């Protein structure tokens, strides 16, 4: 009876394995069939499947523009769009797992790393397009194209994005807070004043952990321009002083009441509406928030530089950018039947998409330079970035690729937003991870 049972289970397992294998095989033949017309010469055109972001105004515009431009440049190439879904690249990973990769695809650095390991991304190092792309880059954004391992995996369109503190000028005036705030003490003072006047000093969507990490990195970059990137090095097994200082500063600000008590359960919609409804005096988010904050609050809102431990440090480091460039953009599948052309198309799409963002949307945050003029109606805050910050920006934060360390930072900075978590806990927890990862 026991033996029979075992034999039967083995049978069932074999059966199920066969089913799985045969189904996978079936999937592949189906996809081969899909690709066949691409090779069919009867139309005389080369068809390329492109997986790109194409779901709202901000993503459709640049892509459609780039495709139109491509038609002029390479008339014999036909683009078949496969719209990306906002699913953390699951759809793309499915393609990879089933050997069904599109010729060109748009993705981010974590996914590129996985694909580099599983050989689903073409190394672009030696292509002619890469050399040209390198020459056309804006200053300071090399890290967008060249990965930390020295390879080129994708052609980026956007530049390096970064986080800013936004503030409501009318509330600051009403409560009597003088700008600029240059020091942590100054910001803590302001927080106390604002709180006493019944405002939430700063709304933050702490339910998402990356924003508390970005806030922390803003403070870190005043002390150590490389930011989190400084943690990715052999031998850094203990939290460097700059990071300890920044953690103490963040705790100090929390204790001064800068963040709402419910910050870790606040999402973007709630936090932004606190700011836009005038309940919160400050808000922290990426530079992309400029467009909607200008739309909602008009001239009432502006951004400030990150405060530092003292005024001298503030002046010295105010152009340090709280944002690190990670490789991202249009990549090419090594399995593509028209790989040479696909590489050219990928570079072209990225460059033209950047051109659209600059000339039509007025965003100076792009990787490749363009010789056309910027859009006419650029928000004032964005103009400040283009004229005041970017030309002076020399130091961008460096990329941290180690997910373990990044996750430890995310978890523990979120903890710094609430009562009952001491700086010592922060240091102990990070030292544990650093000790493990950087030995």
Partner 1 sequence: MNKYLGNKSALALFLLPALLLYSVILIYPVLQTVVRSFYDWDGLSTAAFSGFANYRELFNDPLLSTSLKNGLIFALVLAAFQIGLGTVLALVCANPRTRGRKLLKTAYFIPVVLSVTVVCQLWIAMYDPTNGLVNKLFELLNIPYRQNWLSSPTQSIIAIAFVNAWQFMGYQFSLLYAGVKAVPEDYFEAATIDGCGKWRAHWHVTLPLMRETYKFCFTIAITSGIGAFVQMLIMTNGGPGTTNYTMTFMIYRYAFMESNYGYACAVSVLLVLISLIATVVINKVFDRGQNA
Partner 2 sequence: MSPKTFRSIGQFLLQIPLWLYFAVSIYPLFWMISYSLKNNDEIFVTNPFGLPTHFRFENYVNAWTQFNIPRYFWNSFVVSIISTLFILLLALMFAFAVARMQWRFRSAVRTYMLVGMFMPLQVIMIPLALLVRDFHLTNTYGALIIPYIAIGLPFSTMVFYGFLVSIPREIEEAACIDGASIYRLFLGVILPLALPAIATIAIFQFLNNWNEFTLAYILISDENMKTLPLGLLFFQGSYSTDWGAMGAVMTIASLPMVLVYLLLSDQVERAMTVGSAVKG
Q: Which 3-state string (H, E, C) describes the chain? A: CHHHHHHHHHHHHHHHHHHHHHHHHHHHHHHHHHHHHHHCHHHCCEEEEEEECCCCHHHHHHHHHHHHHHHHHCCCEEEEEEECCCCCCHHHHHHHHCCCCCCEEEECHHHHHHHHHCCCCCCCCCCHHHHHHHHCECCCCHHHHECCCCCECEECCECCCCEEEEEEHHHHHHHCCCCCCCEHHHHHHHHHHHHHCCCEEEECCCCCHHHHHHHHHHHHHHHCCCHHHHHCCCCCCCCCHHHHHHHHHHHHHHHCCCECCCHHHCCHHHHHHHHHCCCEEEEEEECCHHHHHHHHHHHHEEEECCCECCHHHHHHHCCCEEEECCCCEEEECCCCCCHHHHHHHHHHHHHHHHHHHHHCCCCCCECECCCCCCCCCCCHHHHHHHHHHHHHCCCEECCCCCHHHHHHHHHHHHHCCCCCCCHHHHHHHHHHHHHHHCC
| Contact positions with partner 1 (CB under 8 A) in 416-435 | 417-421, 429, 432
Partner whose binding site includes residue 1, from partner 2, partner 1, none (CB under 5 to 8 Å by kind): partner 2
**Closest CB 277 distance from partner 2, rounded Å:** 8
Partner whose binding site includes residue 34, from partner 1, partner 2, none (CB under 5 to 8 Å by kind): none
User: Which one of residues 47, 60, 91, 93 is an interface residue with partner 1 (CB under 8 A)?
Assistant: 93
Contacts of 426 (CB under 8 A, 6+ apart): 247, 251, 412, 413, 415, 416
Based on CB atoms, which residue is closest to partner 1, 142 or 238?
Answer: 238
Partner whose binding site includes residue 24, from partner 1, partner 2, none (CB under 5 to 8 Å by kind): partner 2
Based on CB atoms, which residue is closest to partner 2, 90 or 387?
Answer: 90
Binding site for partner 2 (CB under 8 A): 1, 4-5, 8-9, 12, 20, 23-24, 27, 85-88, 90-91, 93-94, 97-98, 267, 269-270, 273
Q: How far apart are CA 437 and CA 213, in angstroms?
A: 19
**Closest CB 230 distance from partner 1, rounded Å:** 22
Based on CB atoms, which residue is closest to partner 1, 138 or 414?
Answer: 414
Partner whose binding site includes residue 432, from partner 2, partner 1, none (CB under 5 to 8 Å by kind): partner 1
Q: Identify which range of 47-55, 92-100, 132-140, 220-228 contacts partner 1 by CB under 8 A.
A: 92-100
Based on CB atoms, which residue is closest to partner 2, 100 or 224?
Answer: 100
**Closest CB 117 distance from partner 1, rounded Å:** 5
Task: Answer yes or no whether residue 415 interacts with partner 1 by CB under 8 A.
Answer: yes
Query: By C-alpha distance, which of 96, 102, 70 is closest to 83?
Result: 102
Based on CB atoms, which residue is closest to partner 2, 4 or 377?
Answer: 4
Query: By C-alpha distance, which of 145, 318, 144, 358 is closest to 218?
Result: 318
Q: Identify which range of 49-57, 206-214, 219-227, 245-253 contacts partner 1 by CB under 8 A.
A: 206-214
**Closest CB 282 distance from partner 2, rounded Å:** 19
Q: How far apart are CA 219 and CA 201, in angstroms?
A: 17
Partner whose binding site includes residue 298, from partner 1, partner 2, none (CB under 5 to 8 Å by kind): none
| Contact positions with partner 1 (CB under 8 A) in 12-41 | 12-13, 15-17, 19-20
| Contact positions with partner 1 (CB under 8 A) in 250-289 | 261-265
Q: How far apart are CA 436 and CA 439, in angstroms?
A: 6
Task: Answer yes or no whether residue 207 interacts with partner 1 by CB under 8 A.
Answer: yes
**Closest CB 334 distance from partner 2, rounded Å:** 20
User: Which one of residues 35, 53, 83, 114 is an interface residue with partner 1 (CB under 8 A)?
Assistant: 114
User: Which one of residues 30, 40, 85, 97 is an interface residue with partner 1 (CB under 8 A)?
Assistant: 97
**Closest CB 89 distance from partner 2, rounded Å:** 11
Task: Answer yes or no whether residue 411 interacts with partner 1 by CB under 8 A.
Answer: yes
> By the criterion CB under 8 A, which residues form the site for partner 1?
9, 12-13, 15-17, 19-20, 93, 96-97, 114-115, 117-120, 206-207, 209, 261-265, 403, 407, 411-412, 414-415, 417-421, 429, 432
């Amino acid at each position: 009876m026991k033996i029979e049972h075992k034999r039967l289970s083995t049978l069932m397992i074999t059966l199920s394995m066969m089913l799985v294998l045969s189904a996978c095989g079936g999937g592949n033949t189906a996809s081969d069939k899909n690709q066949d017309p691409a090779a069919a010469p009867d139309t005389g055109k080369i068809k390329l499947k492109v997986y790109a972001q194409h779901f709202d105004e901000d993503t459709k515009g640049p892509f459609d523009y780039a495709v139109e431009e491509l038609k002029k440049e390479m008339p014999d190439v036909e683009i078949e769009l496969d719209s990306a879904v906002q699913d953390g690249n699951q759809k793309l990973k499915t393609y990879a797992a089933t050997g069904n990769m599109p010729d060109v695809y748009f993705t981010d650095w974590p996914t590129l790393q996985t694909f580099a390991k599983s050989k689903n991304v073409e190394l672009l190092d030696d292509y002619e397009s890469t050399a040209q792309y390198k020459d056309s880059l804006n200053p300071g954004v090399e890290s967008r194209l060249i990965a930390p391992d020295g390879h080129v995996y994708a052609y980026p369109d956007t530049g390096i994005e970064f986080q800013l503190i936004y503030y409501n000028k009318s509330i600051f005036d009403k409560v009597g807070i003088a700008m600029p705030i240059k020091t942590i003490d100054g910001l803590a003072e302001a927080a106390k004043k604002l709180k006493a006047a019944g405002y939430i000093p700063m709304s933050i969507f702490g339910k998402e952990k990356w924003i508390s990490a970005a806030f922390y990195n803003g403070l870190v970059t005043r002390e150590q321009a490389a930011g989190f990137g400084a943690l990715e090095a052999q031998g850094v097994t203990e939290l460097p002083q700059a990071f300890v200082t920044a953690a103490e500063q963040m705790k100090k600000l929390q204790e001064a009441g800068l963040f709402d008590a419910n910050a870790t359960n606040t999402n973007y919609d709630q936090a932004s509406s606190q700011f836009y409804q005038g309940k919160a005096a400050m808000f922290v988010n990426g530079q992309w928030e400029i467009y909607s904050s200008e739309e909602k609050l008009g001239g009432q809102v502006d951004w400030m530089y990150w405060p530092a431990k003292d005024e001298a440090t503030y002046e010295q480091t105010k152009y340090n950018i709280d944002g690190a460039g990670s490789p991202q953009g249009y990549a090419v599948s090594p399995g593509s039947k028209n790989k040479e052309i696909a590489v050219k198309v990928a570079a072209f799409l990225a460059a033209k998409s950047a051109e659209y963002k600059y000339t039509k949307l007025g965003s100076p945050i792009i990787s490749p330079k363009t010789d056309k003029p910027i859009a006419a109606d650029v928000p004032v805050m964005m103009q400040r970035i283009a004229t005041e910050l970017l030309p002076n920006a020399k130091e961008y934060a460096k990329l941290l690729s180690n997910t373990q360390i990044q996750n430890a930072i995310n978890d523990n900075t979120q903890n710094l937003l609430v009562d009952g978590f001491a700086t010592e806990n922060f240091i102990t927890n990070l030292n544990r991870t650093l000790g493990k990862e950087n030995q």
